Amino acid sequence: MRTFRMPIAAVGQICSTSSMTHNLTQCRSLIQKASAAGAKALFLPEASDYIASNAAATVSLCKPAQDSEFVLGLQKEAAKYQLPLNVGVHEPAEGGKKVKNTLLWIDEQGNITQRYQKLHLFDVEIRDGPILKESNSVEKGPRIEDPFDTPLGSIGLLICFDLRFPEPSLALRHRGAQILTYPSAFTVPTGKAHWETLLRARAIETQSYVIAAAQVGFHNEEKTRRSYGHSVIVDPWGKVVAELSGEEDEKGRGLDVGEIAVAEVDMEYLEKVRREVPLLRRTDVYPEID
């Protein structure tokens, strides 16, 4: 009997700085590792191109994709290794005063074929923690984009803080998504409290694979911005099937920087979960999310 191997997804973890050259070097290493592992796609974190120290720098560093040495470098690597990439970057917003927090799909020929702009912006004040106002420099996205076919399955794109809202993931499931993405730069306090719980919840309630590539560690010398890490892949039953380490200790050591984790994506298993535990919604009682 011939045995067919399921396609492999790779999730990568980096620590972006304000240097796009440095960040591209990190991502190139992950691409090589993912290719060697036989992955059919590599998922990279939110803001992989750069993380700046303040809102003004976030805007000033931003370039259109066609002019960005970071994006152009990734397109070249995707074509070289024939490996699709999912990566979070910044793109200029109209007027030049803000940026778009964008998620790109770069196909195996190196072409940008999909874009999603982050819907929900991270404006929070954590007690004894960071005060972050993403809306100071970022323009919120206008819509949920439809899922699209890939070598792994049908993917629906979401980013970081979108994770706290079940409606977009339910809408994407309704439109046919089998895999949801949440590339992120989660803070350490919110990461410890909610990261895995929310990711598993989104997987369980949509009966989908969830792939969440994460930033990890301190992003600047002043140590004013720090990300939690713990990139994961969750299966449609809510089981964590791949995971990297992250920031957990008071010394602020970044763990698994420049590493990947891989997992098989089994669509027969996904359909089994959906078939055996059908989620029959009472849309006669509450509105359908589409």
- Taking the CB of residue 57, how many other CB atoms lie within 10 A of it? 15
Residue among 118, 139, 243, 247 flagged as catalytic: 118
Q: 147 in a domain, yes or no? A: yes
Residue 101: inside a domain, yes or no? yes
Tell me, yes or no, whether 2 lies in a domain: no
Q: pTM for the whole thing?
A: 0.95
Is 46 a known active-site residue? Answer: yes
Whether 1 is covered by a domain: the verdict is no
Q: Which residue has the higher pLDDT, 131 or 2?
A: 131
Compute the average pLDDT of residues 225-249: 92
Helix or strand run (H / E) with residue 199? helix 188-206
Listed in order, strand segments (DSSP E) in 168-270 are 179-181, 209-212, 216-218, 226-228, 232-234, 240-243, 259-264
Whether residue 285 lies inside any domain: the answer is no
Residue type, 45: P
Q: Is 69 assigned a catalytic role?
A: no
pLDDT value, residue 12: 98
Residue at 171 is within a domain: yes
| End-to-end C-alpha distance for the chain, whole angstroms | 42
Mean pLDDT over 76-84 rounds to 98
Buried b (16+ CB within 10 A) or exposed e, 171-198: bbbeeebbbbbbbbbbbbbbbeeebbeb
Average pLDDT over the chain, rounded to an integer? 94
Query: Which of 104, 148, 151 minimizes the C-alpha distance to 264?
Result: 151
Amino acid 251 reads: K
| CATH number of the domain within which 110 lies | 3.60.110.10
The model's pLDDT over 113-168, given as tens digits with 9 standing for 90+, comes to 999 999 999 998 767 766 778 999 999 999 999 999 999 999 999 999 999 999 99
- Residue 100 domain boundaries: 8-276
What pLDDT sits at residue 1?
42
98 located within any domain: yes
Whole-angstrom distance, CA of residue 21 vs CA of residue 202: 34
Catalytic residue among 15, 27, 40, 46: 46
Q: Tell me how far apart the alpha carbons of residues 149 and 153 are, in angstroms, rounded to a whole number.
A: 6
Q: How far is CA 228 from CA 24, 143, 185, 192, 248, in A?
A: 20, 28, 7, 8, 7
Q: Is 260's pLDDT higher than 80?
A: yes
Q: How confident is the model at residue 61 (pLDDT cuts 50, 70, 90)?
A: very high
Query: Residue 62 catalytic?
Result: no
For residue 281, is it within any domain?
no
For the chain, how many structural domains are there in total? 1
Q: 160, 243, 247, 259: which is the annotated catalytic residue?
A: 160
